[in-house]
Amino acid sequence: MSTLPAPLSTTSQATWADVNRDVIRTVSMPGDRYFAWMCLVALTLACGVAAWAWQIWVGIGAAGKRTPQMWAMYITTFVFWIGIGHAGTLISAVLYLFRARWRTAIYRGAEAMTVFAVMTAGLFPLIHAGRMWFAYWLMPYPNQRYLWPNFKSPLVWDVFAISTYLTISVVFFIVGLVPDVAALRDSSTGIKRKIYAVIALGWEGSDQQWRHYRRAYGLLAALATPLVLSVHSVVSFDFAMALVPGWHSTLFAPFFVDGAIFSGFAMVLVLMLPMRYLFDWYAYITDRHLDAMAKLTLVTSLVLSYFYICEVFTAWYSGEHFERASVFAKATKEYAWAYWGMYFCNCLVPLVLLSRKARVNTVILYVVSILVLIGMWLERFNIIVPGLGHDFYPYTWGTYYPTVTDSTIIVGSFAWFFILFLGFIRVMPSLSIVEVKEVLPHPLKHAASHGGHH
């Protein structure tokens, strides 16, 4: 294994004991500021829930949907969250297989993000459905009349793709947690110790446990990798399988996957930078990590720009009147702001990351990430709302206006995500103790006897 890149230890002097200390430190009684934030988030969430209740009561009409935009902000935000959910598994699985060791510092946070993002996204099909109380009909469950879902419908593919993705991500997440929780157990006392003991499943780090654990982890990663790529492809089929001009395109699968990774990394940065600051993790999340993530963001942004160009080009080159009219309308009609805003946020802004200075400058990185998140939301909005608003049939062309109800629900979904994430970082190690240690210099008595590890 001497082909592996050198661990990042060169920049940090932390010992294994430091790692335990620094991580376990974060899992302690939080301060007032934390609770203040939690209250704010909880309040927002409450508003969202109330709005949803109102919508269920009076009907989907409470949201601004109409003909032709029978889908609008809910599906937009659904796709957005699914996209966010991609970075985590990508980092923990794909980068794991590629042995990109810098991932160790960020993957736990990213995985948590993934799980919670998918849990948020999972709400939207329910919120969106006209009779959400029957949404379970999309599940294949045995029943006397042999009524099964229509497996030809992209929505049913969604159900399978997303539930699979959620399950595998959660499993992956928990498997990764077990040794760390063991460490927590050993360092804590009283009731906390008992609880962690249960979650740790009696992990001891014996060779017996490690070898099966490592093998399973590797296989999970191997399975998760195609899954990551498939999930957003399947989500993209919701559109690509439809007839709507601007949707019916073979471009969508790669286009969506790339966009997902793009937005996912932005979200990772948005979450990691404050944690690095608040938990004082400069020793573990170093400039080199930022640089690496920024580079990935930049690359995905460039790929995305390429897809945007393809989209416009094919519309023009096809000579298909509907396609052209659709693109033309997006760029010039009532939603032009969203269209150009998307280009600005997703194609222009990330270009600043071409300079190394920018890549390691936390402020710039943060601003870029926020803009990228906005841009990616706009991208989905542009596909759905203007796309439907200017499709085949001029009689029904129309403009969609958000209402208080659907806007509140959208904001509420963010609250839901953050309440989960904030909760997590206070009860679980949001930095992988084991994997960070792994890449630190292993303690050696006779350093001379090894020309550096590996």
Minimum CB separation of residue 274 from other proteins in Å reads 27
**What is the DSSP code (8-state) at residue 3?**
T
309 binds other proteins (CB under 8 A): no
Q: Does 451 bind other proteins (CB under 8 A)?
A: no
Residue 141 engages other proteins in binding (rule: CB under 8 A): no
Rule CB under 8 A: say whether 316 interacts with other proteins: yes
Q: How far is the CB of 344 from other proteins (least distance, A)?
A: 23
Are the CB atoms for 64 and 388 separated by under 8 Å? no
Residue 85 binds other proteins, judged by CB under 8 A: no
How many residues make contact with other proteins (CB under 8 A)?
A: 117
Largest CA distance in the chain: 81
User: What's the start-to-end Cα distance of the chain, in Å?
Assistant: 7
Q: Are the C-beta atoms of residues 444 and 450 closer than 8 Å to each other? A: yes
124 near other proteins (CB under 8 A) = no
> Whose Cβ is closer to other proteins: residue 116's or residue 196's?
196
Report, in Å, the least distance between residue 44 CB and other proteins. 24
11 binds other proteins per the rule CB under 8 A: no
Q: Per CB under 8 A, which region of 95-103, 145-153, 351-359, 366-374 contacts other proteins?
A: 145-153
User: Residue 16 interacts with other proteins (CB under 8 A)?
Assistant: yes
Nearer to other proteins among residue 177 and residue 372 (C-beta)? 177
Task: Report the alpha-carbon angle 105-108-110, nearest 5.
Answer: 95
| DSSP per-residue letters across 49-87 | HHHHHHHHHH-GGGSS--SS-SS-HHHHHHHHHHHHHHH
Distance CA 301, CA 222 (A): 26
Dist. CA 272–CA 111, nearest whole Å: 12
Distance CA(87)–CA(157), nearest Å, equals 21
Min dist. Cβ of residue 131 to other proteins (A): 4
Of 365-394, binders to other proteins (CB under 8 A) are 388, 391-394
- Does residue number 149 form part of the binding site for other proteins (CB under 8 A)? yes
| Pick 203 or 262: Cβ nearer other proteins | 203
User: According to the 3-state scheme, what is the secondary structure of 387-412?
Assistant: HHHCCCCHHHCCCCCCCHHHHHHHHH
Cα torsion 383, 386, 392, 393: sign: positive
* Count of CA atoms in the C-beta half-sphere (13 A) of 7: 19
Tokens of 238: 């919701």
Instruction: List the interface residues with other proteins, window 161-200 (CB under 8 A).
Output: 161, 163-164, 167-168, 171-172, 175, 178-179, 182-183, 185-187
Nearer of residues 159 and 410 to other proteins, judged by Cβ: 159
CA 7 to chain centre: 26
Pick from 131, 274, 317, 355 the residue near other proteins by CB under 8 A.
Answer: 131
> x/- binding map, residues 207-246, to other proteins, per CB under 8 A?
xxxxxxxxxxx-xx--xx-xx--x---x--xx--xxxx--
Q: From residue 397 to residue 426, what is the string marking binding to other proteins with x (rule CB under 8 A)?
A: xx----------------------------
- State yes or no: residue 278 binds other proteins (CB under 8 A): no
Minimum distance, C-beta of residue 208 to other proteins, in the bound complex (Å): 7
| Contact range with other proteins by CB under 8 A, out of 112-120, 130-138, 265-273, 363-371 | 130-138
Distance in Å, CB of 244 to other proteins, minimum? 6
CB-CB contact of 27 with 427 (8 Å):
yes
Q: Does 314 contact other proteins by CB under 8 A?
A: no
Output the smallest distance, CB 217 to other proteins, in A. 8
Q: How far apart are CA 367 and CA 140, in angstroms?
A: 44
By CB under 8 A, is residue 13 in contact with other proteins?
Answer: no
Interaction residues for other proteins, span 240-269 (CB under 8 A): 241-244
In angstroms, the Cα distances linking 118 to 22, 163, 189, 411 are 29, 9, 34, 16
Token representation of residue 450: 């090894």
As to burial, measured by CB atoms within 10 angstroms (0-12 exposed, 13-18 middle, 19+ buried), residue 414 is: middle
**66 binds other proteins, rule: CB under 8 A:** yes
Which of 42, 325 has the CB closer to other proteins? 325
Least Cβ distance, residue 403 to other proteins (angstroms):
10
